[in-house]
Every structure is written in C-alpha cells, then in structure tokens.
C-alpha cells in the first residue's frame, strides 16, 4: 500500500472548535497542528471514532487582511490515542453545502504556490505556506 499523500501538508498551530453529535460533547475546543486542502491534523482531549462527522471552526491568517474564521465540515478518518490527548485525522468534505471549503481551497492553493511564510498573529502560530 502506498503512503503517498494526495495533498501537501503545512504546519499550522491554532485553536479549533469541534462540533459533533453522539456521545461525545457536542462542542469542544481542540488544536490544529497541520492542514492540507483535504484534511486537518488535530490534537484533542476527546476521542472521536473514525466515521464521526464534525464541524470545525478555526482561524487562518490571510496575507494582507489579517485573520479569518473558517468553518469546515469533515469526517474523522483515523484516531490515535495518546496519554496526554488524542490525535485525529479529519478529512474535509468537499461537497458540503455549508462552510467555507471553496474559499479555503482557493486561499490554500494561492499561499502554497507563493511558498512564503505567513507571519503568525495572536492565537495562530507557525504557519508556513
């Protein structure tokens, strides 16, 4: 089985609010540690099983504009239980009618092509696009 990725990942450390149904809390805070146009890497105090549907609200830097709050919808694809919290892989849903997916992909692609560091602002650390 090939371990190649479909989308380039970039490090981003920012807070994210996760909303989900089921037995987990309906809304909780977590931290993004990487992203790509297809998914998010998240540290969480809560375990979400593969297949869990999530709404993720995070803040991303926009060169020349400041910060923008982005809403993305996705599905947990994998979860790794750690002693100090869980690591989750969330695949972003492309065809979800709500959210900011189209804007996010356009912004991500522009920054990735420019390959320039984006200065971190309050609450957002280490974004290199």
The CATH number covering residue 89 comes to 2.40.10.220
Task: Tell me: pLDDT of 7 over 80.
Answer: no
The domain in which residue 102 lies consists of 10-125
Report the pLDDT averaged over residues 19-23.
Answer: 78
Q: Is residue 95 part of a domain?
A: yes
What's the number of domains the chain is made of? 1
pLDDT score at 30? 95
- Mapped onto helix, strand or coil, the DSSP state of residue 33 is strand
Cut 0.85: pTM above it: no
Q: Is residue 4 part of a domain?
A: no
> What is the per-residue pLDDT across 50-98, written as a single tens digit (0 to 9) for each?
999 999 999 888 877 888 999 999 999 999 999 999 999 999 988 666 7
Q: Is residue 35 part of a domain?
A: yes
Q: Is residue 75 part of a domain?
A: yes
Q: Is residue 3 part of a domain?
A: no
Six-digit token string for 48 = 């979400």
Q: Is residue 56 part of a domain?
A: yes
pLDDT score at 45? 93
Q: Is residue 103 part of a domain?
A: yes
Tell which residue, 56, 48, 10, has the closest CA to residue 31.
56
Contact call for residues 76 and 22 (beta carbons, < 8 A): no
Q: Is residue 118 part of a domain?
A: yes
Indicate the DSSP class of residue 15. E
């Amino acid at each position: 089985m090939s371990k190649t990725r479909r989308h380039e990942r970039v490090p981003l450390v920012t807070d994210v609010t996760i909303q989900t149904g089921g037995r987990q809390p309906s809304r909780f805070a977590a931290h993004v540690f990487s992203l790509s146009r297809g998914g998010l890497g998240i540290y969480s105090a809560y375990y979400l099983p593969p297949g869990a549907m999530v709404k993720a609200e995070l803040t991303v830097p926009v060169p020349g504009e400041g910060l923008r709050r982005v809403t993305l919808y996705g599905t947990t694809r994998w979860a790794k239980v750690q002693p100090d919290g869980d690591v989750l892989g969330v695949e972003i849903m492309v065809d979800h009618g709500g959210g900011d997916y189209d804007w996010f992909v356009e912004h991500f692609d522009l920054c990735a092509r420019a390959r320039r560091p984006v200065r971190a602002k309050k609450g957002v650390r280490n974004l290199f696009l």
